[in-house]
Amino acid sequence: MLELRKLSKSYGGRPVLDQLSWTFKAGEFVSIMGDSGVGKSTLLNLIAGLDTPDAVNGESPIIVDGIPMSGLDDDAATKLRRARMGFIFQAFHVLPHLTLLQNVALPLLLNGLPTARAAEMLDAVGLAGREHDFPHQLSGGQMQRVAIARALVHRPALVLADEPTGNLDPDTADAILTLLQREIKATGACAIMVTHSQLAAKKTDKILQLSKSGLQETTIVNPFEQ
């Protein structure tokens, strides 16, 4: 579904990601953990197309569904992202002047799809009856549920989430992650979540540790559970 091939990124000559390679499969819910500053958000931003990898000769370092991203012009890359990706990022927060229903319907509208599924998704995330409310009328957890509904409404093949439960209390975070997990499995998407939370990571199929030597699969060892 998503292939990284020797993906590198440096800022001002200082390497952050160095020749990173990994294959993410369809239907997989993967978390990425690692020390602060190691490059987790940078990695997600590169995959999302919010930032560009270091230039390479030859093959594209990011391949989505067999399509080399660096071979696409801006227009084609935007279309692919819009149709095949869903984002749960702070930068993509719900739009304050649109109702919840309009917020969730946006990816459908932009892709020329029927908008009926927007109400279904609001229902699925427990916000039925709130369709015509505005974001300022919601709690942080409810807002995050709207962001999840909007990220998944157009059934993207790839879902990218950056600390989706970062500022939520543990119970709300757990409910949000269960919802995310359920919706990802229902749509068959591949989802990549950056998190510092071991509890959040435990909800995923696979935990990857990002370090200076690259990505490595890992397991969380909890001494209280032995």
Ligand X SMILES: Nc1ncnc2c1ncn2[C@@H]1O[C@H](COP(=O)(O)OP(=O)(O)OP(=O)(O)O)[C@@H](O)[C@H]1O
Strand order in the sheet with 14-24: 14-24, 2-11, 62-64, 67-68
- For residues 39 to 78, the per-residue mask of contacts with ligand X, x marking binding by CB under 6 A and - elsewhere, is xxxx------------------------------------
| Contact of 33 with 202, CB cutoff 8 Å | no
45 or 142, CB closer to ligand X?
A: 45
13 binds ligand X (CB under 6 A): no
> Among residues 8, 38, 72, 82, which is the contact residue for ligand X, using CB under 6 A?
38
Please give the Cα distance from 21 to 182 (Å, whole number): 28
The residues that bridge with 53 in the sheet, in sequence order, are: none
Please give the Cα distance from 6 to 75 (Å, whole number): 25
Q: Which residues in 153-192 contact ligand X (CB under 6 A)? A: none
10 or 139, CB closer to ligand X?
A: 10
CB of 119 to ligand X, least distance (A): 35
Count of residues binding ligand X (CB under 6 A)?
10
The residues that bridge with 174 in the sheet, in sequence order, are: none
> Among residues 1, 4, 7, 16, which is the contact residue for ligand X, using CB under 6 A?
16
CB of 84 to ligand X, least distance (A): 23
CB of 149 to ligand X, least distance (A): 25
31 binds ligand X (CB under 6 A): no
42 or 103, CB closer to ligand X?
A: 42
40 or 150, CB closer to ligand X?
A: 40
Strand order in the sheet with 158-162: 85-88, 158-162, 190-194, 29-33, 206-211, 214-218
208 binds ligand X (CB under 6 A): no
36 binds ligand X (CB under 6 A): yes
Which distant-in-sequence residues (6+ apart) come within 8 Å of 169 by Cβ?
141
> Among residues 13, 37, 96, 112, which is the contact residue for ligand X, using CB under 6 A?
37
Q: What ranges make up the beta strands (E) of 176-220?
A: 190-194, 206-211, 214-218
- Residue/partner pairs of 63-71 with CB below 8 Å, 24 or more apart: 63/2, 63/3, 63/4, 63/5, 64/1, 64/2, 64/157, 64/158, 65/1, 65/2, 65/157
11 binds ligand X (CB under 6 A): yes
9 or 145, CB closer to ligand X?
A: 9
CA-nearest of 43, 1, 7, 11 to 209 is 43
Where does this chain bind ligand X (CB under 6 A)? 11, 16, 34, 36-42
